[in-house]
Structure 1
Amino acid sequence: MSVRRLSLTARMALMFMSVVVLVLAMAGLSFNLLSQHHFEELDRQALVEKLESTKHILGSSPTFEEVLPQLHALLGAHQDLAAVILRADGKALFSNPGAAELPERFRHADWQNMWEWQHDGHLYRGMTTQISMMDQSEPLTALLLLDVTTHTHFFETLRRWFVVGLIISALISAALGWVVARSGLRPLRQVTHIAASMSAKSLQERIPLEPVPLELQQLVLSFNAMLGRLEDAFVRLSNFSADIAHELRTPVSNLMTHTEVVLSKKRNTDAYEENLYSNLEELNRMSRMIDDMLFLAKSDNGLIVPQQAPIELADVVAKLLEYYRLLADERTIRFSASGSGRVQGDKLMLDRAISNLLSNALRYTSSGETIAVTIHQMESLVRLSVENPGVTISPDHLDKLFYRFYRADPARREGNPSNAGLGLAITRSIVEAHKGRIWCTSAGGLTGFHMEFPRQT
């Protein structure tokens, strides 16, 4: 099984075990090296002391025979110590049994260096030095050997036990790591359990932050925020489905009623023609609604790609005001337009967006009032505002006005037969497709819709 397929608990336990094994291995290796160095220094010190004592004994006596008892006492009293003293011609003046087979190459070794020799399963460390004596014309060569086999056995035993201890420590650390990781990840499992139990009926629930560790709080906050977005989207989708059924029910019901009435008895050609015209009107309304819904569906999926052409907003506004002036004159409503600004975009789409705002303003403006259209060109943006006097809209409704089929007054769900409640949603989609933004303000009996677009460079 690859590491990627292991659980998070198993990975953390393996990492914990690896760290413990690595630390113990480094500690054991360091201890082994330091111990060997320490024993080497002790052996060197012992050999140096014996050689210095030998030099002192030989240098203070006129003849070699006089110092033999002292040399036996100094060099023969230790079981692990062997020594040999040679003349220049190679004849041994003093020798212990353990040094009898010492290779000749060590006779010329450097006095500063400690050498090693393995013989018959034993390890020896030794040193060589030259000693001057009164009755000898040439210096004597003294070689001292120290049997350090016990040190070797000690380190072998130490390494053996260290390997056993390392294996046991690895197993124990893996088990402890598993327990610690499983305990530490318990809040994550709780979050996962809550997330797995979520459904469309429980989107309003949130994961509490109190029992969650600090490291997981940001994850929980993000998850709760996602639940909030999902809940909002689900509610809007549910309302959208209900509104679609509600909006389509009226024209379908009208079609069925008209058709049933006409078919209830024989009628003349004029009656049938009148009924067909009435049905055509309802079908046109349904067709417009379906086209608007398809436009919004394309916008939601990023399929609306506006053309890029320079547009003077003042010209677009002037043309639309001329179109709506006849309807406004019937209700004695006036228009005022001011400002100018150039943007980059799709003229047909912007015509539709501004037309939706003007149509909406006409619908809710009382007779004798004035609808103001202003264009303000800033350093990097162009803002277009459509403001009309009317009933102040509650702040709770301002952001929801751009939802599909949403109306601020629930009592007027039917609205105008030609109005399906999709105009502002389409306007927002067009503005966002042009990388702009739209918002609504309403205070003091004045309601305004404001659109901002990047300025043409």
Structure 2
Amino acid sequence: MNPLAHFRGLRARLLAVVIAAVAGTVVVLTVGFNVVIAHRLHHEIAAVLDARAAAAQDTVRLVNRRVVLTSQSQPDSLDSKLWVFGPHAVSETRGDPRLGRAAAEMAASGTRRRNLAQPPTALLAVPVVSHGQRLGTLVVAASLAPYQHTRRIALAVSLALALFVLGAVAALSRWMLNAALRPVAQMTRSAAEWSAWDLDRRFDLGPPTDELSQLAATLDSLLGRLAAAMRHEQRLSAELSHELRTPLAKIAARAQLAAHEPETPEAVRADLEAITHTAGQMGVLLETLMAAARADPGPDSGRSELDEPIGRAVESCSVVAAHRKVTVGVHLASPCLQARVESALVERMLSPLVENAVLFARSSVDVRAARNGPYAEVRVVDDGPGIDAAELQDIFKPAHRGTAARMPGAHSGAGLGLALARRLARSAGGDISAQATGAGGCFTLSLPCP
């Protein structure tokens, strides 16, 4: 199965668009939030260092041409690192020697601000000036660890919140889309079911007021036109079949009488028998047309045991089978196997299948009936040339003749039997399908069980 098949659905595409839009918005907000946090913490670190540098400068004094710190700013009373550099550097706090080296480099190079990765520390260097004379450089430091911890917490919380919002929006959007499109799916299934066997059903949601009611009105209109076309077709088929039965019966009767006349030459008698046989085929076709016209599409159009219509369908082909020396076997998984279809309709469905199998078989035809879940299946298999895989659907089209039917020596026909049989089966809630087995023809009639 194509992995993108599910994504091609409208619901999946809409959900993908919503998730993509929300994800983009969440990403922008998350990045913006963390950028603002980082900028705010940077300014806060700078403000802390400036405040500490200003406080330290107030404690610097020049005594006997030496820069000294008052007692208030001695290392034991400070909570930050502090260095004083100049001609006479007099005070330095205790601590990590890496900080002292970095402070000395800043004083020597004139660098104002610097951040160290290890240990995570921010440093600020400011000049010590007295009466307009620069006496040295004061360097203060503050640990970046708490600020980095705050940034990590903010990043983790923002990511967790973003994922939660994205998941919540995706779940809510999916629920809303399912709720919004569920009526459409239900209406589609109902319309497909009604078009198969209940063309008089309608949604009847009244005048269109929104998209759903407009869709219902459109489907009601389509079902109405389909029902009218179906009734017109059934009426036309019934009238034509009825009108053709009488002249066809006269043709068959006159041909039979002429064929049995003693003075009829043998060559003419053979032609008359061919006329009689062809008239019989046309009679079967007309009976099928009339049965299709009379059929009431619906899932509950009678009930029958399948052994009787199967037997009659096989018996109707016995003369042709004997002439072609083809044996027809019947095997029923259960003698009481039933279908929710009238016996006469089942016979009309099966007759074209059995007749085609007898005409194309080399020596044998096998008719098997068994239950498969909610359906009764009748499988007709022959040992003939089989069905081309490319024609499994085309052979059910009216007037279409398959490759095997066009071969030299194949029987002639109008190509209507399979099309009418499938139409009858589908009108009864079943179906007829063909299988390319590679070892002969195979047709399966599926009918609903009671």
TM-score (norm 1): 0.45
TM-score (norm 2): 0.46
Say which one has the larger Rg: 1
